[in-house]
Each structure stands twice: as C-alpha cells, then as structure tokens.
Amino acid sequence: MARKLSNLFFAAIKRAARMQRQAFKLVNAPIVKKPRKSVKKKAAKQVSARAQASPGTAKLLPAGKGVWQNFIHKTAPTGTELLGRLAYSLYGPDGRPLEGQPLVIMLHGCQQTAYEMAQGSRMNRLADKKGFVVAYPQQAKRVQPMRCWRWFQPDAGHGLAEADAIASLASALVRKYRLDGSRVYIAGLSAGASMAALVALRHPNVFAAAATHSGAVLGAAHNPVAGLRTMRQGSAADPTGLLQPLVRDIPLFPGMPVMILHGKRDHVVSARNAVQLAQQFSYLNAASSMQETVLGQGTHREYARQDFLKDGRVAVRLCMLKEVGHAWSGGDSKLKFNSKNGPAASMLMWRFFAMHSR
C-alpha cells in the first residue's frame, strides 16, 4: 500500500512539474497590486536612501508601510533541483536604516507563497512597530509542485540542501545590510515550521532562536509517504533518538531556544508532533524544569503554555492553542491557513525572540 501511494505521489509531482516548468518565472513572483504614483515615488526614495541592491523591484506591501522587494539568492552549486537559486522577498521597516536591525526569516507552508505568508501573518506590520527586517524565502514549484519545503526528505539532495540554502541566505543578508548578526531568528508554518526547525538544528551558530507553528516532529520521515504518516500520527519512536542524523554533533550542540505553537483543532498535523518537538529541543537545550500556565482563559485566544527552563531561563516554550486549527493563530482569516482565533502568533514569536540573542 505504501509503495502504491508513493508511486501515485511521484506521478502527480511529475505531471505537475511538466505543467509548471514553463510558467515558473511567472508563478514564482508574488502578485502585487500596482501602487499609486505617489506611493511608487515614496518607495523609490526609500530604496535609494537605504542603498538597496539593484536586482529587486521595490513594492509597497499592503500589510506594512515599508519596502517589499523580490530577489534571487545564489547558493553554492549543488546537484539538487535548487540549481544554486533561492527566490526570496525582503521587507524593510518604513523610515529606518536597515543597519543594526534584527533579522527574521519566515518560511511559508505548502500551497502558500512568500507574499501570502507575509499578508496572513501580519509580520510586516509588527516589523514596522518593533524595528526588524523580514525575509521570506519561497519554495519553487519546479522543486516541489505544492511549494512544500522538504523537511520529510532530510538528505543532501533535498531537505538538507534547502536548509543550508536558507541559512546561507540569512548570513548573506546580515553581511550585505550590516544587520545584527546576534539577533537572527527563523520561523515557519506547517512544512515551513518543520524546515525552520531543521535549519536551526543544522546551523545553531547562525540563529539565536526559532519558532514553529503547526510543524511536524523531525527525523521520523525520509520520504513523502512517511511525511504524511508523521503529520497524522507523530513518531512511534522516541523523538530524541531521531536527532542523531540531523545534528552534526549532539554533545557539542550549543543549544537553540525554540517556541512551538500548535492548534488543538489541527486535523492536518497532529498536535502530538508539537509535544514531540518540545521533547527534542528540551533534550538538546538540556532543559531541567517546567512551568505551566493558561492564558486568555475563557476567550477565543485561550492557550496553555509550558516553559521548559535551563538555569532559570526559558529554553523551550510550547503553546497549545485551544480554538485554532491548521492555521496561523491570530492571522488574516481572509487568507487560507490563517485563523482569526487564538493569540497573535507573530507577536508571541517576536516577544520570545526578543528574549534571546546569540
């Protein structure tokens, strides 16, 4: 049965890839409404004042007052479908120099684009208020027809290559815009959440903290069929025992603070995955105690929070969201994979990030 499902899965990928190959350049670029002339002039001035790189085209993102640009990051040549290219969008807060600001990398889920991730999460509005830069890498349909980051294939030809490319992008942005290298963070939704965790595991010296929303436990899947099974059931094995192939040297792992959010009404990715992710990162962070509380009790924003501590500091924070399904908590519900219920996930993540620097 598993072999039959696998064959059907790859046949569908092959058909979709043929259909999308010619249209890649079109579909890989976010769709942005044409701004008014006065707005375009303002954007151009902001870009010029900040000495932004020339390859991108400045756009005003409706969900923020700053500048939105689309770029291609050139990665090291590999034998994977990435072909040394990673598309991404960059958002800089309005009226502030980029130098010295923190950086947040945001990874979309399957069937999403970088633009939709920005709109739904409202992270750009928060960047305007708090003062940080946001980068949105985008998976290409020629690589994965549903735009899924391949956390479920953690090998050099697939998921690990994507993780390394994302970490390479983060480091390149820090150098290029002179951002604060001690405050670089990564977050994601669904497949993007699992990939964010994988990136953080492989590159703990690049990121100060990570956040996952509706993600799957790592190391339990090594192909698409196993990925679907993991999403629905979590891991049957001890989750800490799955880390060995993913972490380069567990005894020397420097730690990675992580916030894990998951909706209790999620019928796509079982909430068991969130508990197992918390076990994995508590183990890696050598967390020795736990505190639990319920916030927003009796409202649609209610969630249970467990803090796993190391030396009195929060190393892992697990938030189980009572009224949320497989969607970004407190997001723009007009967009798919976003829920009006639950606390504002973007704000919760930023508050957690602000507690940690590398």
Give the Å distances, CA to CA, from 298 to 41, 98, 328, 341, 347.
Answer: 48, 41, 20, 13, 20
- Structural domains in the chain, sorted by start: 2-354 (3.40.50.1820)
Bridge-based pairing state of the strands 328-329 and 338-339: parallel
The pTM score is 0.84
Local confidence pLDDT in tens for the 358 residues of the chain = 444 444 444 444 444 444 444 333 333 334 333 344 443 344 333 333 333 333 344 444 546 889 999 999 998 766 666 668 899 999 999 878 999 999 999 999 999 999 999 999 999 999 999 999 999 999 999 999 999 999 999 999 999 999 999 999 999 999 999 999 999 999 999 999 999 999 999 999 999 999 999 999 999 999 999 999 999 999 999 999 999 999 988 999 999 999 999 999 999 999 999 999 999 999 999 998 999 999 999 999 999 999 999 999 999 999 999 999 999 999 999 999 999 999 999 999 999 999 999 9
Could you tell me the sign of the dihedral formed by the alpha carbons of 182, 307, 286, 222, in that order? negative
Record the tokens describing residue 297, joined without a space: 């009790």
> Which H, E and C letters describe 86-132, residue by residue?
EEEEEEECCCCCCCCCCEEEEECCCCCCHHHHHHHHCHHHHHHHHCC
Q: Provide φ and ψ at 184, rounded to 5°.
A: -115, 125
